A and B are shown apart, each in its own frame.
Chain A
Amino acid sequence: GAGVSQSPSNKVTEKGKDVELRCDPISGHTALYWYRQSLGQGLEFLIYFQGNSAPDKSGLPSDRFSAERTGGSVSTLTIQRTQQEDSAVYLCASRPDSNEKLFFGSGTQLSVL
C-alpha cells in the first residue's frame, strides 16, 4: 500500500474484553513499531520488530499486552482484559531499516468503557 494502514480507526470496548489492533506496514519495511499516546501526551514506546530478530518488548506495560508480526509484514497488537487506563490512541509505524525516518499510520483510538 501507499502508507502504513491501521484498523480499526476507532474501537469502543467494555472493560474486561480482549481487543486486537492491526497494522499493515509499508511493503518492504523491515522495522515495525507500536506506540501509545494518551490525551495530550507524548508517544510511549510499546514494542519493536526488526526483520527476523526477536522483538524488543521492553515497553509493554503489562502481561495483558502482546504483539506479533507474521511473515515480517502485518502486525497485531492484542490487549487482554482491557482496563479503562488502556484507553488511548495506538500508533503503528514502520521504516525501511534502522536509522531512517518512521512512517506513521493514522492510529486506532481505543476507548474502554
Chain B
Amino acid sequence: SQELEQSPQSLIVQEGKNLTINCTSSKTLYGLYWYKQKYGEGLIFLMMLQKGGEEKSHEKITAKLDEKKQQSSLHITASQPSHAGIYLCGADWTGATNKLIFGTGTLLAVQP
C-alpha cells in the first residue's frame, strides 16, 4: 500500500546480530500494529502502539512509534532463527473509517 511503506523489503542477517525494520505512513497514525507471519502459518500479533513516543518490548523485540505518529520501527536484538518470517505493519488513521491497511511486509531470514 502506498499509504504505508515498509523497509527493507527483505533482510538477511547472521544469528546474533541486531536488526531494524521501518514502517512509514504518509498521514498521522491512530494505531500501529506489528504482526509476524511464518511460512504456511497464520499471523501472530506482536505489538500495538497508539501514543506518540510510545515504546513497547516483548522478549528481544522492541517497537517504537515516533512523536509525530508517522513512523514506527521494530528492532530485534541478538536475532535467532526463530525470528525468521515476514513482518507486517498495519495501521488505523485518524478520521478514517478504521479500514486497517497493511504495509508490503519485510521478509527476514536469520542465518545460523
Contact = CB atoms under 8 A, between A and B. Distances in A.
Query: Does chain A bind chain B?
Result: yes
Contact of B92 (A35, A44, A99): A99
Given A43-B102, A48-B98, A91-B43, A99 B88 contact: no
B100 interface: yes
Interface size range of chain B in the complex: 20 to 34
Contacts of A31: 98
B104 A106 contact: no
Give chain B's interface secondary structure class. strand
A42 B105 contact: yes
A105 interface: yes
B31 interface: yes
Interface string A29-68: 0010101000011111100101000001011000000000
B42 interface: yes
Interface of A: 31, 33, 35, 40-45, 48, 50, 56, 58-59, 91, 93, 98-107
